[in-house]
Amino acid sequence: MHIIHKIRKKKYVSYIILMLIAFIQIYPLFWLLTFSLKSNLEIFGANPMALPEKFMISNYTNVLVNGNLIQYLLNSSFVTVVTIIFSNILSAMAAYAIARMKWRFKGSMLTFFLLGLMIPMQAILLPLFLMMKKTGAYNTHMALILPYTAFAIPMAIFIFVGFFQTIPKEMEESAFMDGANLFQIFRRIMLPLIKPAIATVSIFTFLACWNELMFAITFISKEEVKTLTVGIMGMVGMYATRWGELGAGLVVATLPTVIIYIFMSNEVEKSFTTGAVKG
Amino acid sequence: MDRILSNKKYIFLFVFPAFLLFVTTIMIPIAYSGYLSTLDWNGYSEKVFIGFENYKNLFADFPEGFTIGVKNSLLLALLSIFIQVPIALILAIVISKGLKGEKFFRTVYFIPVIISTTVIGQLWLKVYQPKYGVLNYLLSAIGLDNLKQSWLASTETALACVFFVCVWQYIGYHMLLLYSAIKSIPKTILEAARVDGASNLQIARHITIPLIKPMIKVCVTFALIGSLKTFDLIYVLTKGGPVHSTEVPTTIMYRVLLSENNYGLGSAMAIFIVIECLLFTVFIQRGFKAEAHTY
């Protein structure tokens, strides 16, 4: 009896600690949601932790209409989607050649790409900035898409190579007997087989692009091409004393990732762990 | 079949696009950074070759604050390795035992990881805000009025506050990596230990932790490299201030490059960060010889 009692007590203690940490992890975000729905009067009133008295949906309509937030959302979506498509196609092709084709330098080629995993983005900020000023890519979406894709390639190739290596040779051979050429084999047979890897690469790339700040803030200054992170940094000055509107902007910027995560949490969690093990 | 798979033309067509983008966007620019770091150049003036002068300046603490920045980033790395990763490990061990709400805790701990650092930074600016922020409000609510501070504006508290957010944001990430490693340990091993009468603590110390050593190594590497590269959060929270107290190499580099147009010096900092990351990666790989387990 005594032992059971002790075990139960221990269990309570660990629950309390787990809940406490969960509270620390999630409360700031919950607080953001509450103040995004409050008026200035309430935010700067007596109790910052209280729930909103009246839900100020107008904070949201204000930033969406006056704050260019819709434009930023569209820009971020465009940059992210194109980057995901580019990085998947380029990396899957290169990984196929490295994992399945027969040539002398494939090992060295893989090592060369993997070097990219260790290179911090900061190291190429200035050269890219100068290049973009020169070529006129500055202030265009391409200025972000190209480096984002390039930085997604090393991890993507590694994940894809790992997947391709597990596919039995017979799959290709029988298709070849039926008269398919290499492109058809790649597109119709190999790509469908590596769908889980494509999901992993896409999730990784999505989070990296959607949240990137340094390149975006350096390569983009024109309002019409700004992505969410740059846009939010710009909004900060505009709404310095209006927390409600700024909060609404922050919530809108965060919503897509949180929704994706909640619906696909198993997939996302699997992706993060595959990425890490491979990297 | 073999003939097609060793066809040079096809191999070229498949590898070249990725190779071209990778080389032109990452490899050539890095080499160019290395070249720029040996110049005295502001983008408009004549380029003057000065060898390692820029690197010498860095170590002589010019621009002011650089050595503080390096120290800060190393301190952050230590905190991440010795506080963040251990907390993540304990959480992973506790929730992987299959208690109720396992999935709930996993999801909640992980949410800060997927949110943009820009948003996180803005949010914590508000939490730390002296007059209307939650932190000071909480302190006076529990009767600790004398602890109230202007957290990010004081040189004494700013660094700790910034680092707290850095560590906070990625605890869930390490927790998840370690959790999934623990889950891949075959149940029979743990059951056998339990039958032999091992306590939870003994199982963790003698079985779980040794078996997930490779993943711990991954976490330590990520924590270290991530700390050396930190930029977004500090840029949003303090931009390195007040009086350089929260500076890291990347915040100084950003300022030197883009506000002061000192391209040579900024490039030297960029190369310094690359070399730092490479050296430490090799260090960890050497110092942390963990053999992979197969079951």
pLDDT digits (tens, 9 = 90+) for B65-115: 899 999 999 999 999 999 999 999 999 999 998 788 899 999 999 999 999
Instruction: Collect all residues of chain A within an 8 Å Cβ-Cβ radius of residue B131.
Output: 44
- Return the percentage of chain B with pLDDT > 70, whole number: 98
Instruction: Using CB atoms, pick whichever of A49, A123, A207 lies closest to residue B271.
Output: A123
pLDDT of residue A75: 96
Please, are residues A258 and B199 in contact by the beta-carbon 8 Å criterion? no
Chain B nearest-CA distance from A60, in A, is 16
Of residues A84 and A13, more confidence is placed in A84
Distance from CA of B140 to the nearest CA of A (A): 11
Given this model, what pLDDT does residue A161 score? 94
What confidence category does residue A117 fall into, taking pLDDT thresholds of 50, 70 and 90?
Answer: confident
Answer yes or no: is pLDDT of A69 > 50.
yes
What's the rounded mean pLDDT across residues A214-242?
A: 92
3-state SS, chain B, equals CHHHHCCHHHHHHHHHHHHHHHHHHHHHHHHHHHHHCCEECCCCCCCEECCCHHHHHHHCCCCCCHHHHHHHHHHHHHHHHHHHHHHHHHHHHHHCCCCCCHHHHHHHHHHHHHCCHHHHHHHHHHHHCCCCCHHHHHHHHCCCHHHCCCHHHCCCCHHHHHHHHHHHHHHHHHHHHHHHHHHCCCHHHHHHHHHCCCCHHHHHHHHHHHHCHHHHHHHHHHHHHHHHHCCHHHHHHCCCCCCCCCCCHHHHHHHHHHCCCCHHHHHHHHHHHHHHHHHHHHHHHHHCCCCCCCC
Residues in A closer than 8 angstroms to B22, CB to CB, are 113, 116, 150, 153-154
Region of poorest pLDDT, from A44-58, A83-97, A220-234, B266-280: A44-58
Q: Which of A18, A49, A269 has its CB closest to that of B137?
A: A49
Instruction: Look at residue A279 in the predicted model and tell me its pLDDT.
Output: 41
Q: Is the previous residue joined to A28 through a cis bond, with omega within 30 degrees of 0?
A: no
The answer to whether A159 and A227 have CB atoms below 8 angstroms apart is: no
- Token pair in block for residue B221: 């590497």
Section A125-134 average pLDDT: 94
- pLDDT tens figures, A235-269: 888 888 889 999 999 999 998 889 888 888 888 88
Stretch A166-184: mean pLDDT, rounded? 87
Q: Looking at residues B22-50, what average pLDDT do you find? A: 94
Chain B positions touching A265 (Cβ under 8 A) are 107, 110
Mean confidence (pLDDT) of chain B: 91
The reported pLDDT for the residue numbered B294 is 56
What are the pLDDT digits (tens) for B194-245? 899 888 889 999 999 999 998 999 899 989 999 999 999 999 999 998 999 9
- Percent of residues, chain B, with pLDDT higher than 90: 73
The three-state secondary structure class of B39 is strand
Across the interface, do B109 and A96 touch by the CB < 8 Å criterion? no
For residue B290, is pLDDT > 70? Answer: no
Q: With an 8 Å Cβ cutoff, is A51 touching chain B?
A: no
**Residue in A146, A181, A243 nearest the CB of B21:** A146
Question: Does residue A167 surpass a pLDDT of 60?
Answer: yes
